[in-house]
Structure 1
Amino acid sequence: MHGNSPKTLRQDLLKQRKEFAAGNGYAQIQADLIDHLNQLLSEQGNSWQSIALYWPIQDEVDLRSTLLAWAKKTPNRTLALPFARSDKHLDFFEWRQGDQLLPSKHGVLEPDPNNSARPQIIPDLILIPCVGWSSSKVGDKKHYWRLGYGGGYFDRTLADLRKKNPKLVCVGIGFDWQQLNDGQWSAQTHDEPLDMLLTESGLLR
């Protein structure tokens, strides 16, 4: 269905996402997903002081307005955006609406790491967009896995941040149709599991 290589799989999934985002029902599906995010923030948002989001590209769900509203509700809440380092790790810097961002070599807008008014932070919650996702069960525990763009940035970063902040929560953002079976893709030993996965159907833990 998707060819034999992860690269071909990613290309096929990104093409499907573009077509999906142009469809008639997309606005409602996106709204449903954001409703579930709002529910998560309502239930657990007080336990997080900082949330790292992403600047949406290639038809990713735009969570910015939802998270800006969360940040404004209580003093000292902060949002952060990732900055891609040359060693393929991510640093997170505080972000506020209206900040000037810089395009990366991948075309993603990023914070300026030299902006002294926006310090680097270790977030409590990271929201990560998925190109595809899968699940696996070990004993009674279910794991969720993210297929990304192939650079490995998030896996390296999560492995490092989880040592610094054991309470870090990582939530993948995706759609139901992006779920992959073992015949299409399975997580590798270097892949970091997601703590939760959020789709239009709800929150998967």
Structure 2
Amino acid sequence: MTPLDKASARAHFRKLRQDLPETDRRAAAEQLADHVMAGLEAAGAERGSTVAGYLSTGAEPSTELLLPALTRAGYRVVVPVCEPEYQLSWVQWYDGVELVRSPRAWVYEPVGERLPSAIMADVPLILVPGLAVDADGNRIGQGGGYYDRFLAGVARLPEQPKEVGVFYPHEVVAPGSFEVTELDAPLDGAVTAEGWIWFGPGTV
């Protein structure tokens, strides 16, 4: 199998997302929230700890139900804000927080104190967006480079949080399905509407 180059892979997976019926997306959001909540403690995220999530947009696997479920269960939730030079900072999310359109990306971001990525030293679990992941944990993102830079920085922390991608089931694909470069940080696992998946040795 010849791997798809990144541009072709992004176009392919974006089209598959756009073609998903809205009823399927809603069902996936419910199932995703249920699976994440059921597996948090096994993933090392005890109640009361901080989970790094994201605000879904467009046809992404929706976190609209997941984020409120996390806060109701006693977790602190932080989500990213796009900063200059393709860096991320983090702001606490809670139900009703004011949201504004990012000046740098096509996402909405919460208003509040911006926290540096160094806080990830105390975060047990990072939920990472992406377009697809292969069975070796290699992720392909939207192409902005924010998460590639962020995950590279997390890799230098003394304590490593688990990095888990959030995908639709069909986006977990065989190794070699798409181009991978040395700049791509592999994930520890993935979670979909069908449950949790862990890659490589030494994981859950």
TM-score normalised by structure 1 residue count: 0.80
C-alpha separation between the residues in 1 aligned to 2:171 and 2:73?
Answer: 33
Change (3 A) 1:2 1:97: farther
**Corresponding residue for residue 201 of structure 2:** none
SS of the counterpart of 1:92? strand
| Bigger Cα Rg | 1
Change (3 A) 1:47 1:69: closer
Q: CA deviation at 1:6?
A: 1.4
- The answer for unaligned runs of 5 or more in structure 1 is 137-143
Change (3 A) 1:90 1:119: closer
**Corresponding residue for residue 82 of structure 2:** 84
Q: CA deviation at 1:37?
A: 0.8
**Corresponding residue for residue 190 of structure 1:** 183
1:147 to 132, 140, 145: 140
C-alpha separation between the residues in 1 aligned to 2:50 and 2:135?
Answer: 27
**Corresponding residue for residue 109 of structure 1:** 108
Change (3 A) 1:48 1:73: closer
Q: CA deviation at 1:182?
A: 4.7
Query: How does 1:90-129 map onto structure 2 within 5 Å?
Result: 90-104=88-102, 105-112=104-111, 115=112, 118-120=113-115, 122-123=119-120, 124=123, 125-129=125-129
The answer to whether the 8 A contact 2:131-2:142 is kept is yes
Change (3 A) 1:184 1:91: same
Length, aligned pairs only? 191
C-alpha separation between the residues in 2 aligned to 1:72 and 1:173?
Answer: 20
Q: CA deviation at 1:28?
A: 3.3
SS of the counterpart of 2:143? coil
C-alpha separation between the residues in 1 aligned to 2:80 and 2:16?
Answer: 26
Q: CA deviation at 1:145?
A: 1.8
The answer to whether the 8 A contact 1:134-1:186 is kept is no
Percent sequence identity is 24
Q: CA deviation at 1:3?
A: 9.5
Letter of the structure 2 residue corresponding to residue 172 of structure 1: G
**Corresponding residue for residue 150 of structure 2:** 157
1:171 aligns with 2:164: yes
Query: How does 1:15-94 map onto structure 2 within 5 Å?
Result: 15-22=15-22, 24-41=23-40, 43=42, 44-46=44-46, 49-74=49-74, 77-94=75-92
**Corresponding residue for residue 12 of structure 1:** 12
Q: CA deviation at 1:183?
A: 4.8
Q: CA deviation at 1:71?
A: 2.3
Q: Deviations over 1:83-103 (max 9, x none)?
A: 111111211121222222221
Alpha-carbon RMSD across the aligned residues, in angstroms, is: 2.6
Q: Deviations over 1:164-202 (max 9, x none)?
A: 352312110112211344553142111111111112222
C-alpha separation between the residues in 1 aligned to 2:96 and 2:183?
Answer: 36
Change (3 A) 1:10 1:48: farther
1:135 aligns with 2:130: no
C-alpha separation between the residues in 1 aligned to 2:175 and 2:166?
Answer: 20
Letter of the structure 2 residue corresponding to residue 185 of structure 1: F
SS of the counterpart of 2:90? strand
C-alpha separation between the residues in 2 aligned to 1:108 and 1:13?
Answer: 19
C-alpha separation between the residues in 2 aligned to 1:167 and 1:5?
Answer: 30
Change (3 A) 1:66 1:39: same
SS of the counterpart of 2:156? helix
SS of the counterpart of 2:89? strand
